[in-house]
């Protein structure tokens, strides 16, 4: 069965040099504790929606202080110069997100339920849906939420876990997340690590 082929492929990768790269990346996520670094990861996830992850990483490294302090116009100009497709919209969303920074840090400290934190983020941070909120939380050390982007969907379709998708509704997102949870149990990987293995399988890269 194709389903079993995916499990075998992941287990094979766990014995390869990719494992060390993924373990290092997970360790980096776990070490993000400073509120400004956390907010920078939030901004990265705002940038990366419908845009290239590697380019968003470059912009994040350049614009760290701008995320925190630049006004909307200046941030938009810098995003445009760096080549972001949605420079104006993303500048606006980052500045809006600043208004939620204190409450965000508070809920991250006080709430232990990852799904409840994700619900809060989707409700309160404009521009972050289930995928982006899950991505942000994984990038600051959370391990039990799935990041369902087209790379992951490609793999799941290829190995017959799901059929072709016309749209990814919140309900369908949670259904696919449950499928990924089953795969995580079979491969003995949490969802954070599983995502990196699957992303590598579709792209040949381990980013974040």
Can you say whether residue 127 is alpha, beta or left, with left for phi > 0 and alpha for psi between -120 and 50 degrees?
left
- pLDDT of 1 > 70? The answer is no
pLDDT digits (tens, 9 = 90+) for 14-53: 999 999 999 999 999 999 999 999 999 999 999 998 899 9
Query: Which pLDDT score is estimated for 167?
Result: 86
Task: List, by residue range, all CATH 1.10.340.30 domains of the chain.
Answer: 33-139
How confident is the model over 151-200, as pLDDT tens digits? Answer: 999 999 999 999 988 889 999 999 999 999 999 999 999 999 999 999 99
Q: Which fold has domain 33-139?
A: Endonuclease III; domain 1 (1.10.340)
Whether the pLDDT of residue 88 is over 80: the answer is: yes
Judge whether 2 counts as a catalytic residue.
Answer: no
Q: What is the pLDDT of residue 164?
A: 86
Per-residue confidence (pLDDT) for residue 3, from 0 to 100: 84
Q: Which of 149, 193, 195, 208 is catalytic?
A: 149
Q: Catalytic pick from 66, 131, 195, 208?
A: 131
Residue 202 catalytic? no
Residues 127 and 196 sit within 8 Å (Cβ to Cβ): no
Structural contact between residues 66 and 74, judged by C-beta atoms closer than 8 angstroms: yes
Q: pLDDT tens-digit profile of 102-136?
A: 999 999 999 999 999 999 999 999 999 999 999 99
pLDDT of residue 113: 98
CATH fold for domain 2-28+146-203: Endonuclease Iii, domain 2 (1.10.1670)
Residue 110's alpha-carbon distances to 104, 105, 117, 181, 202, in angstroms, are 10, 9, 10, 25, 36
């Amino acid at each position: 069965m194709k389903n079993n082929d995916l499990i075998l492929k992941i287990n094979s990768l766990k014995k390869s040099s990719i494992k060390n790269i993924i373990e290092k990346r997970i360790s980096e996520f776990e070490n993000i504790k400073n509120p400004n670094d956390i907010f920078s990861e939030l901004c990265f996830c705002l940038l990366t929606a419908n845009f290239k992850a590697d380019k968003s990483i470059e912009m994040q490294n350049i614009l760290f202080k701008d995320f925190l302090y630049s006004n909307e116009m200046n941030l938009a100009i810098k995003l445009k110069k760096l080549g972001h497709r949605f420079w104006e919209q993303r500048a606006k969303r980052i500045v809006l997100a600043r208004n939620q920074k204190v409450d965000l840090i508070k809920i991250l400290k006080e709430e232990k339920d990852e799904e409840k934190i994700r619900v809060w983020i989707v409700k309160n941070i404009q521009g972050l849906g289930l995928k982006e909120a899950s991505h942000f939380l994984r990038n600051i050390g959370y391990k039990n939420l799935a990041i369902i982007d087209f790379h992951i969907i490609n793999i799941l379709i290829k190995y017959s876990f799901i059929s072709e998708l016309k749209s990814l509704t919140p309900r369908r997102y949670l259904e696919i997340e449950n499928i990924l949870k089953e795969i995580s149990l079979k491969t003995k990987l949490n969802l954070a690590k599983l995502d990196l293995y699957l992303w590598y399988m579709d792209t040949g890269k381990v980013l974040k």
